[in-house]
Structure 1
Amino acid sequence: MRGTKMKKFTLKILTALVVLLCSASAFAFAAKATKAAVTTTVTEINQHGNTYLTIRPSLFSAKGFSISDIVTVTINGKKWDMPICKNYSDVDTGAMLLRLTDDSVCLAINMGDFAKETGATVDMEVTITMKQQYGYLTQFHQRLLKSTDVRSDYASDEVFANFREITAGKIAPRKLYRSSSLIEPTARSPYALKLAQNMGIKTIVDIANSQENALKMAANNAFFKALDASGNVYYCEMAISYTDEAFTSKLKEALIFMTEHEGPYLIQGKDGQNRVGIVCAIIEALNGATLQEINDDYMQSYVNYYGIKPDSTQYTEILKTITALFETLNNGAKVTDKNVQKVVEKYLLQTVGLTQVQVDALKVALQ
């Protein structure tokens, strides 16, 4: 028992230290340009393909880069986007990262060979530019949080499945829902599926999957397959970064799809947190939601999964994702309840590429 208490205490200390580190990095970065850029060279490639750069960590940080930023790395004319992290495990297996430690700046793939994948060689020039400040902050903090796959650890089926109705702003009841996946091979999906059936979901926007992958997972899921067969599922395979064309193009198609199909609508992702949260925040703002309503809905996923408290440091840090979203859409300027709807509508018209008729049709479909 004593060892267990010590482990829990140590975990709390480590978590607090990482949160403080990220908070300090965010504070320091606030005064720096969000378009940070640096050119360096490859100095070493180890037996695992990890690609070490000439630039020192102190200079790299001084150039305006921090842990949890998303950067674009250019090597020999080819570009890759990746987050800045401390550990390989801060990203999924097979994902790229820029590993920033006290001793080195390194390009790597978690459980992969970066040099082989990219063609990087010693002395080759590497350019690193800012893609999205704090763009990986939510995922970074999420990896410090713990959830379980045991239903009895959670207060209800809805909490366990991260399934809920959205009625923020002028969105009418029984129109829009969000959830973890109905089809992923997880302990949560049977609960999400049952709730979707009970709510009479007629149209699904799948943020995470291609149709091919989704139908493989849904082989024994009659409800989902029936919706797919009737053309009522849109598959996004959406990028993480909302400034990326791969995100905006899919968002455009998804929103148009909703206007052309009947509700109730369900927006689902693997966990129903990150990309689902961003898409829902945009839809909520368009429909007149206050910033508090948007914040509460976004953070409810982290309350559901991890039981974090609104007065905690982690809650405050993760919530920066939404602040950063709207300020980015507003060219860095502050967003308030008075202008958030106009900011999002302008984004949908000018960046995403919807027409005014399509924007108005989306409002009608949800209100």
Structure 2
Amino acid sequence: MFNKIVMAVLFAAAFALCGACASGSRVGADSSVGSVNVSETVAPKAAAKEVKGVITSFEKYGHAVLNIPIQDLLSNGFELGDGVTVEFSNGYRLKDIPFYNGYYVKKGEPLLRAYPGHKFAAVCINYGKINEIGGLKEGNACTIRLTSKGRYFREQALNSLSYSDNRSDYESDEVFANFRNVKVGDIGAGKLYRSASPIDNSHSRALYADQLVQGARISLVLNLADSRNDINRYTEKDDFKSSYYIRLFDSGRVLPLSLAVDFSSSDFKTKLVDGLRKLADMNASGPILVHCTEGKDRAGFVSALLEALMGASYEEIVGDYMLSYKNYYSITKEKDSQKYAVIVSNNIDEMLKVIAGVSDAKNLSREGLRNGAMRYLKSGGATEEQIRKIVSMLT
């Protein structure tokens, strides 16, 4: 991750360089992808550049990591926002996909990723496992060709996001840990909280989140990101300081669900609803915490599901989801309406479509969202009584 966010400077610089990138004159850059059609704004140009490598490993969520350093791509004339064609030795081919520094494509779409803080490039499918979809294996050879110079540059500039892992860059512990009490719909004050991980310190937030969790007297936790083995592994690290969280874990008050990132998958629903059923059967009265790693996407989906169940409006659910983008990236509707709208469209709208089983989330009424959430839970195996208990715990 970048050590310092300077969002305004990045955004302005990206657009200032747009003309140079369209002409193919600038080499080297950095950032991610979006879903805005700019074929009329940037005129793509073909370029006979290619880099070869192999798949060295697959990440937890199926992304194919290559032995091609990101810097090698940049040094060879590839820029973030270019269109590239990726071809593997097993015949799997991805034509003219974006080269981004983040997951700025819609669910199910591919990208060549140059993630901040990572040394090597990866080929990914957003919310999908490219290893399964493409039939890929470690050792498969890969050729990356530059096919459309600057084709996706505006999306890269529009969506490019990074945040700091330094506490001093944030106005409060709550903002840094993305910690908050969710108070929308019929959810009672002090009943539901969400946050970044209080146990995984990969973003230096665990201690702050743990102290906030203790201050809120959280008694039950839905850990969406980790398995029991993951949690035990965190406790063995030198920087482990999450004393309150581990006491909850040792007393059986943490439910580790280890969810993948594809919120539309049947496996995600099965594991999530199973965890909520266990939560309901515990019939506890104390505050509940929902978290993943950043407390943004998986926690965002589960929070939206519970908010919909509790009668929150579309606007309330979107507002709560976007607080995470305010906390991490200082993005608000007032400061940057264009980025705000793209994030809503690409992320929380897609989540609400899955929850409610509809094609257009924006037209959902409170009752439509509530009914959709109930259908989602029932289709995952929850009983009427378990749903009633969840509602009672949150009221």
1:268 equivalent to 2:291? Answer yes
Q: Which of 124, 128, 131 does residue 97 from structure 1 map onto?
A: 124
1:208 and 1:201 map into 2 onto residues whose CA distance is: 18
Pick from 329, 333, 358: which aligns with 1:306?
Answer: 329
Secondary structure in 2 matching 1:216? helix
What is the alpha-carbon distance in structure 1 between the residues aligned to residue 105 and residue 173 of structure 2? Answer: 32
Deviation of 1:9 (Å): 3.9
Specify whether residues 359 and 7 from structure 1 end up closer, same or farther in structure 2 by C-alpha distance, changes over 3 A only. closer
Superposition map of 1:339-354 within 5 A: 339-350=368-379, 352-354=380-382
Asked whether the 8 Å contact 1:210–1:235 carries over to 2, the reply is yes
Shift of 1:216: 2.1
Q: Please, which of 326, 342, 354 is the counterpart of residue 317 of structure 1? A: 342
2:207 maps to 1:190:
yes
8 A Cα contact 1:210 1:237, kept in partner = yes
Equivalent residues in 2 for 1:196-215, closer than 5 Å? 196-215=213-232
Between 1:210-219 and 1:267-276, the stretch displaced more is 210-219
2:113 is the alignment partner of 1:87: yes
Aligned length: 302
Q: Does residue 360 of structure 1 match 2:385?
A: no
| Superposition deviation, residue 182 in structure 1 | 0.7
Secondary structure, counterpart of 2:276 in structure 1: helix
Contact 2:220–2:248 (Cα < 8 Å) also in 1: yes
Q: How many Å apart are 1:152 and its aligned residue?
A: 2.4
After superposition, give the CA deviation of every residue in 1:337-367 in whole Å (9 maximum; x if it has no partner). Answer: 34111111112112x2211111111101111
Please identify, of 209-218 and 8-17, the stretch whose mean Cα deviation from structure 2 is larger: 8-17
Query: C-alpha offsets along residues 68-117 of structure 1, whole Å, 9 cap, x if unaligned?
Result: 2444xxxxxxxxxxx41143438977965259xxxxxxx988xxxx9543
* Preserved contact between residue 112 and residue 121 of structure 2 (Cα < 8 Å): no
Q: Distance in 2 between matches of 1:251 and 1:15?
A: 43
TM-score w.r.t. structure 1 length?
Answer: 0.70
Segments of 5+ residues of structure 2 without an aligned counterpart are 1-7, 22-30, 40-49, 56-85, 144-155
**Most deviating of 252-261 and 178-187:** 252-261
Q: Which residue in 2 is equivalent to 1:151?
A: 167
Query: Which residue of the partner structure matches residue 148 of structure 2?
Result: none
Matching residue of 2:364: 335
TM-score normalized with structure 2 length: 0.66
Between the aligned residues of both structures, percent identity stands at 27
- 1:48 has 2:54 as partner: yes
Question: Residue 205 of structure 1 aligns to a residue in which SS?
Answer: strand
Q: Superposed, which structure 2 residues align to 1:1-16 within 5 Å?
A: 9-13=12-16
Which of the pair is proportionally richer in helix? Answer: 1
- Gaps spanning 5+ residues in structure 1: where? 27-43, 72-82, 100-106, 123-139
Give the alignment of 1:149-298 within 5 angstroms.
149-185=165-201, 186-219=203-236, 220=240, 221-261=242-282, 262=284, 263-298=286-321
CA 1:289–1:8 in 2, change beyond 3 Å: closer, same or farther? closer
For the 8 Å contact 2:54–2:141, the answer to whether it is kept is no
Contact 2:87 2:94 in 1 (8 A): no
Q: What's the CA shift string for 1:103-162, capped at 9, x where partnerless?
A: xxxx988xxxx954387999xxxxxxxxxxxxxxxxx99972121122222121111110
